[in-house]
Structures are given as C-alpha cells and as structure tokens.
A and B are shown apart, each in its own frame.
Chain A
C-alpha cells in the first residue's frame, strides 16, 4: 500500500526510493538537526518539554492525551533508572500507519525517542513492535545499528555527556499488548496483561521504574517540533489539535493508504485524496478512528473535519486515525459480527466483565447475523454492554462495546430486520 504524504513526518520522504529509510537519506532531509540543536545549545530539559507542550501534539495512539503534559509527569529528580517506551504494537483493525513510519522513516522515530530520553532524563528506551510485522522490525534494528555506528545512540552522544540507548523488541501479535501497561508486562517477559492503574507508568512503569510510553507517530513528530518550533507544528493543524496526522484509509475507496494531512482537514477532502468511493458506490458508514471508535453514518462524516474535537463532538473518536470506509453493500450486522469476534478473541481475559462480556456480545451478534436472533436481543446487547463499559482494568472492554452501541444505534433497522425476518436487509458483498 503506497503512502501518500504531505506533512511533518513524511515531508520529503520518497517512499518509492528503496533507501529512503536510511540514515543518509534522513540526514539529507534535515534529520537529527533537532537533536544537534538541543545538544549544541544545551537546551534545558524543561524547555524541550515546554516546546512539545506548545506544539499542541496529542498522543497519536488513540487517547489523544497531550504529549508534552505526559512528559512533564515524569519525576525529573528521580535518582534511579527511567525509561521511554515506544508503542509500535499497532494492532487495532484498520490502523497501519506506525508500520509505515518505521519502514520508510525510522530515524524520525529514533530521533524523537532520543529527544524524549533527553527531556525526561532516561538512559534507555525500548520500541515494542507488533509481532506480525517482522520485516519492519528487522529493518528497524538495522536503522538502530546505523544510529549507533554514527554515534547518535549509546555513550556520549555526538561527543556530549548525554548517553542514551535504544532497543527494539517484537511482540507476538496480541492486540492487548498495545495497551501500554500490558506492553510493559510483555516487555518484562511476562504475559501481556494490563496492569491496574494507579499507579501509572510515570511512577511505576517498566521494571517498576518511571516510564513514559508514547505512540510511534507521537515520537516521530517530535524532531519537527524541536527543529522548527512548536508554534509551527501547532499552526500546521488547528488550535488544540496541533500538527498534521497520519490517517490510514481502508475499505471501499479507490486508493487506500496512509495520508498525512493537517488536523482539521475536511473528511470530504481526505476521501477525495483517497480517490473517492470505489466503483462510484454510495458512502454508507465510516469508522473514523480505528475499530474501537463508534461508527458514524456517511452523511454525518461528510460534514466533519478530521481532528479530535470535531469527531468527538459527533460522538465518535479520532482514535488512532484509522478511517474505515464502508459502502452501501455492507451489511452492518455482518460488519459488527466481525468486530465483535475480534474483541472476543483479543480480550486478555483477566476482568470478569470483559472476559465474559466480549464472548456474550459476539455470540448474540453471531446468532442475529445467522438469522437466529430473538426478540429482546438488542436490549440484551445494550444491557450487557452497559455492564462492561467502564467496569474493567483497561479500555478494551469499552472498545468492544462502542461498536456495538453505535452500530445498533445508527443502523438499528438492519438489526431489527434480521431478527424479525431472519434475513439480512442488505445483501452483504465482501469486497
């Protein structure tokens, strides 16, 4: 899938060039200048964090938490080890942007993490990479080697007294390992299961030490912010929604792929960039922020701009920026059945409501989709979902419930039709 770019991370990256990911190419694009700037000018840690705050960068992993603020939670005077950890466990259905960052521009991430390490006083960092993108992991290891050989990682970076090393680690493909504390458990060699919070990673993270976890895209945005200033980043987007953002468009469009565009760009524009609807079919529905985000009807989406505030006002989430486009041939019951199956399969199983509820939801939806729905099933789904959401250790239970609520709300007639007539309203066509 090609990358169509136009923003701070992919600026100047020729994804068609086989060596675009190499250190040399990155340097030629102005890479590592941000790091040099910090080290040459001995910019104080607080100023680096302030710059990130000014940029309005919000976490690109799904929750949209302001990155600078998160960095400021790290106890700066803590005497022992502290860690920065990058989350490249991209497992959310629909999301495939982080993979492209480490395949086409890994040094942006490496530089961003070094800067984060500097700002928060960490000596080591880890990048946890999804287990199903093994080639990307191997390539990232090579990029790390390049950086080490060039004196950008390790002891006395660029001859200064700042030392920082970065290691890559690949998981085995469990979605839950993308949840930050499950990721830490897995990184420690344990079963990937979320931890109860508090304590939060900033006080009790990797190996019990203060740790900051950010998404790949969040870190990769940092070199630009430091090099060109937070203000410039902010201005690239819109207030409270600074910068550009990668959107992974999939589904019934002509040119699926990653698009890096300013936050605040109308959805209609994005759809157009992606070549519009495939075969000229009608837009039916969009999941604007990855499988965990509530689905929105097509006509609602066409009025929205692609940023945190606008999507959230419409009742969904920008999430990870995975835009799943569905046309009129999609049976929404079948689509939901597939999503419910995913969460049923991926719940880590520790919390009662999630372990039991995800299975229950799936089984009921599966029954409905197979023409075995019963009166009261929709109320049952709602009630089971209510008993799950907000009652668990991590947000996976909520993520499993949001699609159920939104699908049955916006496309209730399809569910009711199937329950009553034992036959789908829309003759589902797999594309």
Chain B
C-alpha cells in the first residue's frame, strides 16, 4: 500500500519530500501485524486532531521571533487550526522547540515535556534545536533536543523561514493522520530506551494475539 490516500487538504502527496519514511512506517506497522487500513472513526478523530493542534509557547531565542511572525498576519498559522498557543503544557499537544537549549534549560524542557498529556509531539525548530547549530563548539549547549526528549519533526534553518515551519507542521499533520488514535505508540525516552523496547515488544505480541483472535 502506498500512502497516497492520506489526504491533507492544502497540499498534494507528491509535493511532500521523503514519502519513503511514511511508506516505511506503514510497512513496519503491517509487518508487526497492525491493521493499517484506517477505520472511519480513526479518520474522523485524526481529521480533527491534525487540524487543531495546540502548540505550547516555548521559545528560547531567535527562532521564537520567526514563530511570532508565523502567528501574525502574513503567515497566519490560524489557517491550519494551530493558532491556539497554550501557555500551560497540560493543555498543549505539541511543543515547538524554538531556539538553543542549554544545560540549565534542559531539565526545564524535560519537565515541560513530561507535564504534557499524551498524545504529544515535539518539533525541533532551527539548527540549534536539531544539533547545536552555530553553538556546536560551546561548553554549555545541548547538541540537539533529541538528547533530552524524542523529536517528531526537524525543521532546519537558522532561523527557518515561516514557510518552512508551515511545511514542518504539515508533515506532523500527516504523521497524526497515520496514527491509530486508540492504539497510539508510546513515545520512546532516551533514558528508559531499554524498558521501552521491552514494552514495545510486549505490545506487539498483544497485537499479534489480537490479530489472531
């Protein structure tokens, strides 16, 4: 199965780069016995979920200004239903990690992430959040947020243009549409990777059993 039937209202499938990643994801799900034919209820829920993602206002530096531009009149991410920025992590679905994360900030970001309710997503916005970027040589920079929390979408640039951010948002919307809401995968955490893998295998077994029944 290819992923052409995953519909995003404002953009065609072939306009997206790297469709292989999603196809791989589907193949992996199928290999593990997961039913990838999405049911109607999932369609409906995911349609709603992907079009009303509430971001947490979390900006540490320069990229935050571009995030503000995205919220303002010209780029206006309200068009895609993302405009309800939440100041409390408990009400947010996605954290846009705009800017450099340093050692002192790392535990704060980790706590914010842990306070968010599942399902939750992370977007690494800008080269600092991806890999440390221009501050790679610094003694106090965390070389990418994926060292602390798992990341769903990476948006490169220093800072990325708001257009690039919209593209990244659509990628996340696509990922949300692919997920089964009633059987969401648990997010891996670098610290308990081992535990997670064990739990993941367990779930797979259950899924297989469920499939057999």
Are A and B part of the same complex?
no
